[in-house]
Structure 1
Amino acid sequence: MKLLLTDSGITNPSIQAALVGMLGKPIAESRALCIPTAMYGHPMGGPGTKAWQFISGTSQNPMVGLGWESVGVLELTALPSIDAERWVPLVEEADVLLVAGGDVLYLAHWMRESGLADLLPSLDDTVWVGLSAGSMVMTPEVGEDFIQWRPPIGDVSTLGLVDFSIFPHLAPDGMPGNSMAEAESWLEGINRPAYLIDGQTAIAVVDGAVEVVSEGTWHLMNGDRTATAARE
């Protein structure tokens, strides 16, 4: 699976070019499934208006409304109640999965419960486009600051398909979002490399190779909390 781990969606031409490159064809010729599940677990998300805005492509985060050949909805909480034969072929035929933000542990839980997490390793050519929690779910750990909902079994691990963590919505101190001071505090509980990214940044992962795609600000912090890269 190819991963495009965004902070806020396809927010600039550089991120959109990276997406098209991963797809290997124009967006208008690509079939998408959107996954709103994470929104339901977060108090600032769904159910309600914001979930509908994501699904309909009218939210402030450009993903579903980019002009796909077709778009369907894959609601993970419903999948355990239906036969796999009804939804697995739809996932296998999709070119891209568009995954909303929200509560990252809620999303991880339902990815496992639905069987989607087990299916991912077989989706070699599929592109996963994550938004905030939809990106963080692919990391090994998110840190206590981003844990609100906890699964019934108490497992706070995420999927670990990449070997780094993500701190999203980085903003200058005093501006809406997460400050650098908050990021530094969060890093105290993270025991691996971590990317701090803003709304104009995404991380592309293809065949294990990691590339930052950005028209904004990002930092890579390693295990001993040292800044090893930054772009503005």
Structure 2
Amino acid sequence: MKLLLTAGGISNNSIHDALVDMLDKPIAESSALCITTASYALRGGAGLAWQFFNGQAGAPMTELGWKSMGVLELTALPSIDKELWVPMVKETDVLLVNGGDPLFLSYWMQQSGLADLLPSLRLVYVGMSAGSMVMAPNIGEFFVGWTPPNGGDETLGLVDFAMFPHLDHEMLPYNTMANAERWAAGMQGPAYAMDDQTAIKVIDGAVEVVSEGHWKLFTP
């Protein structure tokens, strides 16, 4: 599995080119499944999900001209046979994973069985905000909203670094570099603060930042 972990989707030409390079074929020839489960843990989450499905979220993901598009709702998966959805996931080229609450997303990735499947998949995983943060070992108290049954801030740990998205975003006044530094001081491993013009590529464990904006790496 190749990872393209973004804060604001495919927001510029550099991130778009990185995605096409990871696909090894044009977007118009690629199939995608979108996951917007994380949005349901936010106020107005149903509307946010609809905006994501319809390409109106302001962070380009579903509207890039995919050959085909489907919706994978994680909360439904535990109640249906795996034969109905696992082959579909294995055959798709891309998973587009929306933002929202990262702990809610992590919980349902694990409950659904998708988390166990992810490492074996040969596809490109494109995360946005919480969809990216969920790959980290943990998210830090700064981002805890929905609380999982076992508490804590642990997520999937499929990468060894954490992410502070939407750095200096005009609609998120608390997402400042000063707060990112305080957040990073409480993390156990490497941590990236990144704005919406920045993404992190992970291929076979190799990490590369793709950016037309600003970002910072904090190390323990």
Match of 2:133 in 1: 136
Match of 1:203 in 2: 200
Alignment of 1:77-226 (within 5 A): 77-123=75-121, 125-171=122-168, 175-177=170-172, 178-223=175-220
TM-score (norm 1): 0.91
CA distance in 1, matches of 2:57, 2:184: 30
Q: What is the deviation of 1:213?
A: 0.3
Residue 71 of structure 1: which of 44, 69, 72 is its match?
A: 69
CA distance in 2, matches of 1:101, 1:186: 19
Q: What is the deviation of 1:155?
A: 4.5
Q: What is the deviation of 1:154?
A: 2.1
**Deviation string, structure 1 residues 90-134 (Cα, Å, up to 9, x no partner):** 1001000000000000000000000000111210x2000000000
Q: What is the deviation of 1:53?
A: 0.9
Which 4+ runs in 1 deviate beyond 4 A? none
Match of 1:230 in 2: none
Matched, 1:11 2:7: no
Q: Which runs of 5+ in 1 are unaligned?
A: 224-232
Q: How many corresponding residue pairs? A: 218
Query: Aligned-residue CA RMSD in angstroms?
Result: 1.1
**Deviation string, structure 1 residues 20-55 (Cα, Å, up to 9, x no partner):** 011000000000000010000123x512x2210101
CA distance in 2, matches of 1:200, 1:151: 30
CA distance in 2, matches of 1:115, 1:199: 30
CA distance in 2, matches of 1:105, 1:79: 18
TM-score (norm 2): 0.96
Alignment of 1:38-49 (within 5 A): 38-43=38-43, 46-47=45-46, 49=47
Aligned-partner residue type, residue 12 of structure 1 = N
CA distance in 2, matches of 1:83, 1:161: 25
